[in-house]
Amino acid sequence: MQVLSNYYNIKRNQKEEIDMDKLMQDANRFVSDIVDGLVLAHPNQYEKVEGLNVVKRKGGAIADKVGLVSGGGSGHEPAHAGYIGDGMLDAAVCGEVFTSPTPDMVLEGIKAADGGAGVLLVVKNYSGDVMNFDMAKDLAELEGIQVETVVVNDDISIQNEEDRRGVAGTVFVHKIAGAAAASGKSLDEVKQVADKVISRVRSMGMALSPCYMPESGKPGFELPDDEMWIGIGIHGEKGVERKAVAPVKDIAAQLVEHLTAEVTDKRIAVMVNGMGGTPVSELYLTYKYVSELLEQKGYEIVRPYVGNYMTALEMHGFSITLLPVDEELLQYLDASSKAIGFLV
Amino acid sequence: MQVLSNYYNIKRNQKEEIDMDKLMQDANRFVSDIVDGLVLAHPNQYEKVEGLNVVKRKGGAIADKVGLVSGGGSGHEPAHAGYIGDGMLDAAVCGEVFTSPTPDMVLEGIKAADGGAGVLLVVKNYSGDVMNFDMAKDLAELEGIQVETVVVNDDISIQNEEDRRGVAGTVFVHKIAGAAAASGKSLDEVKQVADKVISRVRSMGMALSPCYMPESGKPGFELPDDEMWIGIGIHGEKGVERKAVAPVKDIAAQLVEHLTAEVTDKRIAVMVNGMGGTPVSELYLTYKYVSELLEQKGYEIVRPYVGNYMTALEMHGFSITLLPVDEELLQYLDASSKAIGFLV
Amino acid sequence: MKLTVEALRRALLATADAIEQQKDELTDLDREIGDGDHGINMSRGFQGVKKELEAQNSLTDLGELSKLVGMTLIKTVGGASGPLYGTAFVKFATKWKDKQSAEGEDLFAGFKEATEGIKSRGKSQVGQKTMVDIWEPFTAALQTDTSLEKVIDQALADTKAMVATKGRASYFGEETKAVQDPGALSSSILLKNIAEVLLHD
Amino acid sequence: MKLTVEALRRALLATADAIEQQKDELTDLDREIGDGDHGINMSRGFQGVKKELEAQNSLTDLGELSKLVGMTLIKTVGGASGPLYGTAFVKFATKWKDKQSAEGEDLFAGFKEATEGIKSRGKSQVGQKTMVDIWEPFTAALQTDTSLEKVIDQALADTKAMVATKGRASYFGEETKAVQDPGALSSSILLKNIAEVLLHD
Ligand SMILES: Nc1ncnc2c1ncn2[C@@H]1O[C@H](COP(=O)(O)OP(=O)(O)O)[C@@H](O)[C@H]1O
Ligand SMILES: Nc1ncnc2c1ncn2[C@@H]1O[C@H](COP(=O)(O)OP(=O)(O)O)[C@@H](O)[C@H]1O
Ligand SMILES: [Mg+2]
Ligand SMILES: [Mg+2]
Ligand SMILES: [Mg+2]
Ligand SMILES: [Mg+2]
C-alpha cells in the first residue's frame, strides 16, 4: 500500500491544494523506514530490537555501566536514536510521529540498556511520555531492573512550570548524563547530574513554517508565509504569539529577552537548534546575532552548538537553549561521544 | 538597512504573495553573516581572512603539507567552509550566493593554505568557478606559489560530459584529497588521487521544492506542490524532467537507474545528500530504499554517508552519489577528519 | 442494565467503526489544541482491538475481555490516550474478574475504578477539559435514572466550554474554550456505544 | 567616431543606471535559463564601477580608466560574468594604454582584443548563445557603416533564437530557444551606451 501516492492522487482528484512535500514511501511505515535507514547507514553502531522501533547500541548494554534510555514520539531526528553511542545513550524508543511509544516498547529499550548497574530514563515532559515511561518502569522493576527517571521541561514558552515541555535542552541532558554514566558514575549520581542540567537549562523556539503530519498530510498549524509563530513546540503545536516575519536579530532578541530573564548565571553553553527544515546556513547566520545579543547582556558563551538537534519533521525555524555551566558540566560536555548526532 | 523587513513590507503593501521563508537579517550581508556565524561557533577551528568571506584553518597553513582550497558560490553550507579542518581543507573561499568568488578572494585563500608544498584547488565545473580560480592560480604563481587545479564534474543529469556540474561528489574529493595531503603526499600525488575520485564519482539529484534567492526573494524554479524536478542542480537550476511526486522508492529507482548505468564497479561508497531543507529523518528513510535498490543490483555498499553535505539554500530534495572504492580510497575516507561537516 | 461479554464486544466493535468514521474530526480537534494525532492514535488502537476481538471470539469472561482490550490499547496507542484508555480497561478487569456479566453495583464499581484509574494515571481531575470530564459524569449517572446519552451530551457541552489545564491542550489556555477536547469526544463515542448496549439488552 | 575618456566615463555611468533599471529583468532571464543572479551580479559590479569613477575623477588616460573598470569588475562581480567583463576591460587597457582617446583602427583594435579576450577566457565562440554573440557583431560593425544600434538589436534577436551550449544555460538545451541570454542582454546595454557616446560625440 502506498499511502503517499494515494495521498497525492486523492488530493489531485479532489482538486485540493497540496502543501505537504515529503520524501516518503508509505505513511504507515514512516517511522520504521526512518529507523531502518538509520540502522542501515550505521551498521557498526546501531541495531534494531527485532520487530520494534527500538534502537540499541550494537553489541548491547555495557556491563556495570548505568544504562541510558530516551525516546518519545518520532519526528525529532536525529533525536533520539541518533544520540545512541559511546558517551551518550544506550537505547532509544521511537514512538509513532509525535506520539509517545508504548510501555512494552520502552521496556525493551530498558532491557537493551541494562548492564546491571541500573537504567536512567530521560523523558520529555508530556503527559503521554511520562505515563508510558512510568508504566515501563514498573514493568522493568518487576523484572528486577533498577530504573530511575528524569523529566526534562526546558521550554519556557509555557507559563505554568508544571506544563513546560521538554525540547532541545534534552540533548544536553543526554550528553551530560551519558558522559557521567560512561565515566562510571552510579545510577544515583547520573540521575543527580541529569537533574542538575534540567534545573538549569532553558529553551524557546520559533517557526517560519509548519510541519506536516505524514498520515493526514495536514500542517500542525496554519501560518501565512509572511508571518511566524513565537514559542512553538516540537510537535507542530502553534506558538504563543503570531506576528509578521521580522529580521532574525529582532526574533532572536525576543527569545533572548525571555531566556535571560530566567538564566542569571553568565557562563553558558548555547545551542541554536534547527527545527528540521532549516538549512545550516541560516542556523549559523542566526547564531551570529544570538551570540552578539547574549554578549551584549554580559553572558560568556563557553560552548556554542549549532545544528539540527531536536527537530519537528520539516518545520522551518529555530530554538535557542541556554545552559549555565560549571566545571563538572563542561567536563561532561567535552567528553568523547560517538553518537552520530553529537560527535565529540 | 534591513532588506528582509523591507522585502516583506514591500510585498505586503503590494499585496503580493510571499513564498520565501528565511532566517536572515539583511540580504546584502547574507553570506558574511553565515561566515561570521560559522567562525563564531567554532572559534578554535576557523578564522576569517580580515574583511573577506574567506575562511581558513585557525593558526594558518601547516608547514610542508600540501594546502587544499575549495570554494565557489555560497548557499551550499556546510560546503565549503565546513570542510575546513585537519584532514580536509585548509581554506574555503565563499562567493556571493550561487556566484563564484572573485580571483582576489581565491588568491587570499591560496595564500592562507600555502605551507610551502603547493596548493591544490578543488573547483566545481561551472564557467564562473573555473575562470575565477584560473585567474587566481595565475596571480598565485606570480607570487611564487605552486598551484594545481582539479575540476569536479559528477552530475550526470547533464548529458554533455564537458558541461557536467560539480555537486555532492565534491565532498568526497575534499575528504580523500584532504587525507592524502594530511598523510604527507606531494602536490602531484594529491592531485592524482583527487583526479582518481573525480574520474569515478557520479551524482544525480531531485527536488520537491525550490530554493529562494535571498536578494530577489524569488524561487529558482516554479514547481507546484504535487510535482517534483528530477536532475536539478545545486543553484536552483530546474531539472531535466518535471513530473508528479512519487513514493521515494520510485524516485530513488530512477536516479539509481541512471547512476548504475555509469558505475560498473560494485564496491562503492554511497552518499544520500540533502539539499538543505530536507530533514535528516527523510534522508535516512530515503537511504533505506536507495541501499535496497543498489543491493538488488549487486552493489556492495562499504561506506554509507547520509546528511546535508552539499546543499542549495533551503531546497527540499536529495541527491545520490556513488563512488567506487579501492583500498587506497577507503583508507583516505576513513582517515581522521576534524572538519565540522565531515567528522571522522 | 446489564453488561454481558457479548454486549461489550458489540459495543467495542461499534466503537471501532465509529472512530474510523470520526478519525479526521478527532485529528482536526487535536491539531487545534494539541498535536494532531488523536484520531490516528484512536484508530490504530481500536483497529487493534477489533483484530484481537475477531481473533479471540471464545472469551466468556468480562474480566478477560477487558484485560485483553486494555493490554491491546496500551500496546498499540501510545501517546497520552493509550495509557489512559488502557488503564480504564485494565481497571474494569480487576473489578469484573471471573464475571460473565456485570450489573448494578458491579457495573458501577467497574466504571468507578476505571475513572479513578484514569485520574490517578493522568494526575488529573474533573474540570481540566480532558476525557475525565466525560467518564466522571457518565459513571455517576449509572447510579441515577437519568438518560446516559443525555448525560454524555451535556458533559460534552460542558467540557467544550472549559479551559484546558492538563495535557497538550493546556498550552493554549483561554483559546481552548472554543474547541472540543479530542479525548472527550473519543470517550463520548466509546461510552455512548456502551450505553447503547446497556439500554437495549 | 571617437571614444574619449570623458565619453567612456559617461557611457559607464549610464550603463550603471540602466543596469539598475533592468536588474530584475536580467535576474529573471537568468532564473529561466541559469541560476537567477545575473542582474544582482551586474548591479554589484557596475555600482562598484560607479563608485570608483566618482572617487577617481581625474583619470585622463583611456588605458588607466579601462584597467580600473576591469579590475573593479573582476573584484566585485564574481560568477561567469565577472571574469568575462573584467577581461574585456583589461584588454581595452592593453590596446589603449597611454591614450587619451581612441578612434578608427585603435578603437576597433580595442574591441577586437576585448572580444577575443572574452572568447579565450570563456573558451567560447559565436553561436553558443552568450555575450560573445553581441560583442562579436558589434566589433565587426565598427569597421562598417551600419548603425551600431541596429547591429546590436539584430544580434540580440539572433542570440535569443539560439540554443545555448555554453555556461549554465547549456543545461537547458532546446528550451533556451524561447529565452534571451541574460549576458547578451547586459552586453547590449553596455555596448548601446558606448555606441551612444561614439555617435553623438
Ligand atoms: N493527564 C491527562 N489526564 C487525563 N486525560 C488526558 C491527560 N493528558 C491527555 N489527556 C487526554 O488525552 C487526549 C489526547 O490524546 P492523544 O492526542 O492521543 O495523545 P497526545 O496528547 O500524547 O498526543 C486529550 O484530548 C485528553 O482528553
Ligand atoms: N563560457 C562562457 N563564455 C562566454 N560567456 C559566458 C560563458 N559562461 C557564461 N557566459 C555569459 O555569462 C552570463 C551569466 O552570467 P552570471 O549569471 O552573472 O554568472 P553565472 O553563470 O556564474 O551565474 C550568461 O548569460 C552568458 O552570457
Ligand atoms: Mg501525540
Ligand atoms: Mg551564479
Ligand atoms: Mg495528540
Ligand atoms: Mg547566473
Question: pLDDT by residue (tens digit) across B79-107?
Answer: 999 999 999 999 999 999 999 999 999 99
Query: Minimal CA–CA distance to D31: which of D182, D188, D165, D184?
Result: D182
B202: left (phi over 0), alpha (psi -120 to 50) or beta: beta
Instruction: Tell me whether residues C78 and A165 touch, CB distance under 8 A.
Output: no
- Residues C82 and A132: their CA atoms lie apart, in Å, by 8
Residues A65-75 have a mean pLDDT of: 98
Residues D84-97 have a mean pLDDT of: 96
The subunits that touch chain B, with at least 3 C-beta pairs less than 8 Å apart, are A, D
Q: What is the pLDDT of residues C6-34, one digit of tens each?
A: 999 999 999 999 999 999 999 999 999 99
Res B4: pLDDT: 64
- Percent pLDDT > 70 in chain B is 95
Q: What is the pLDDT of residues B270-320, one digit of tens each?
A: 999 999 999 999 999 999 999 999 999 999 999 999 999 999 999 999 999
Cell of A263: 538564566
Measured at the CA of D11, the angle between CA D5 and CA D13, to 5 degrees, comes to 105
Query: Minimal CA–CA distance to B210: which of B220, B199, B195, B197?
Result: B220
User: Could you give the residue ranges of the DSSP H alpha helices within chain C?
Assistant: 5-33, 38-55, 62-76, 81-96, 104-122, 132-141, 148-161, 182-200
Does A109 lie at the interface with C, CB-CB under 8 angstroms? no
Band of residue A17 on the pLDDT scale cut at 50, 70, 90? low
Query: Which amino acid appears at position B173 of this protein?
Result: V
- Percent pLDDT > 90 in chain C is 87
Contacts of D44 in chain B (CB under 8 A): 96
The contacts found for C20-25 with CB under 8 angstroms, 24 or more apart, are C20/C46, C20/C47, C22/C185, C22/C186, C22/C189, C24/A216, C25/C185
Band of residue A1 on the pLDDT scale cut at 50, 70, 90? very low
Q: What is the pLDDT of residues D2-56, one digit of tens each?
A: 999 999 999 999 999 999 999 999 999 999 999 999 999 999 999 999 999 999 8
Cell of C58: 471464545
**B225 or A327: which carries more pLDDT confidence?**
A327
Does A184 lie at the interface with B, CB-CB under 8 angstroms? no
Q: A89 forms bridges with which residues in the sheet?
A: A84
> Is beta strand A91-97 parallel, antiparallel or unpaired with respect to A67-74?
parallel
Band of residue C197 on the pLDDT scale cut at 50, 70, 90? very high
The answer to whether B111 and B81 are in contact (CB under 8 A) is no
Q: What is the pLDDT of residues B165-198, one digit of tens each?
A: 999 999 999 999 999 999 999 999 999 999 999 9
Is the pLDDT at A274 greater than 50, yes or no?
yes
Query: Minimal CA–CA distance to D117: which of D169, D59, D74?
Result: D74
**Chain C meets chain A (3+ C-beta pairs below 8 A):** yes
| B235: annotated active-site residue | yes
Query: With b meaning 16 or more CB within 10 Å and e meaning fewer, what string describes B206-217?
Result: bbbbbbbbbbbb
Beta strands in A61-191 (DSSP E): 67-74, 91-97, 119-124, 147-152
Is the pLDDT at C147 greater than 90, yes or no?
yes
| A80: annotated active-site residue | no
- Percent pLDDT > 70 in chain A is 95
Res A196: pLDDT: 98
Does A12 lie at the interface with B, CB-CB under 8 angstroms? yes
Is the pLDDT at B222 greater than 90, yes or no?
no
Please tell me if the CB atom of residue C136 comes closer than 6 angstroms to any atom of ligand 1. no
Question: Which CA distances in Å does D93 have to B70, D144, D174?
Answer: 31, 23, 38
Instruction: Tell me whether residues A127 and C74 touch, CB distance under 8 A.
Output: no
**Which of B42, B80, B235, B316 is the catalytic position?**
B235
Instruction: Compute the distance from residue D24 Cα to the ligand 4 centre, in Å.
Output: 15
**Chain D meets chain A (3+ C-beta pairs below 8 A):** no
Please tell me if the CB atom of residue B125 comes closer than 6 angstroms to any atom of ligand 2. no
Band of residue B1 on the pLDDT scale cut at 50, 70, 90? very low
Closest ligand to B126 CA? Answer: 2
- Distance, in angstroms, between D77 CA and closest chain B CA? 7
Contacts of A338 in chain B (CB under 8 A): none
Instruction: Tell me whether residues C75 and A102 touch, CB distance under 8 A.
Output: yes
Task: Supply the pTM of this predicted model.
Answer: 0.94
Res D57: pLDDT: 82
Res D198: pLDDT: 95
Write down the mean pLDDT value for chain B. 95
Contacts of B103 in chain D (CB under 8 A): 74-75, 83
Pick from B82, B282, B343: CB nearest A24: B282
The structural domains of chain D, ordered by start, are: 2-197 (1.25.40.340)
Residues C51-63 have a mean pLDDT of: 92
Q: From atom 18 of ligand 2, which residue's Cα is the shortest distance away?
A: D38
Instruction: Tell me whether residues B281 and A249 touch, CB distance under 8 A.
Output: no
Q: B319 forms bridges with which residues in the sheet?
A: B205, B273
Contacts of B99 in chain D (CB under 8 A): 37, 40-41, 77-79
Is the pLDDT at A206 greater than 60, yes or no?
yes
Cell of B189: 600525488
Please tell me if the CB atom of residue C184 comes closer than 6 angstroms to any atom of ligand 1. yes
Residues B57-69 have a mean pLDDT of: 96
Res A225: pLDDT: 83
Please tell me if the CB atom of residue D82 comes closer than 6 angstroms to any atom of ligand 2. no
